[in-house]
Amino acid sequence: MAKGRVLGKGRELVVTPAQRDKLLEYTKGTGGFQGLCGRVHHSIRSKDGKLVALAYEKDMEEILKAAQNGDAGGWEGLFRDIVDANS
């Protein structure tokens, strides 16, 4: 069995090209959210003419928590927009 974090099942999230580019920006820098943004960005594929990211269950918990937090900007705001558009 592989060591490391168990991420669980995935949830597909449709993202826009601008959101994809923002996710890439958030993979750089500091703050502890780079891994999450990197996993989501790395998973993006074209499907039925849309960009679709796969957010694993553990990541989705963190994404939903950040989206509900109310912070106006940064990666939290980006995920809030993504989650709202996929609801």
The region that residue 59 occupies, defined by phi over 0 for left and psi between -120 and 50 for alpha, beta otherwise, is: alpha
pLDDT at res. 12? 96
Residue 5 has pLDDT above 60, yes or no: no
HSE value, Cβ hemisphere, 13 Å, CA-based, for 13? 32
Q: What are the structural domain ranges in the chain?
A: 10-85
Burial of residue 66 (CB within 10 Å: 0-12, 13-18, 19+) is: buried
**Residue 30 burial class via C-beta count within 10 angstroms: exposed 0-12, middle 13-18, buried 19 and up:** exposed
How buried is residue 22: exposed, middle or buried, by Cβ count under 10 Å (0-12/13-18/19+)?
buried
The proportion of the chain whose per-residue pLDDT surpasses 70, expressed as a percent, equals 90
What's the number of CA atoms in the CB half-sphere (13 Å) around residue 80? 13
For 49-69, write each residue's pLDDT tens digit: 999 999 999 999 999 988 887
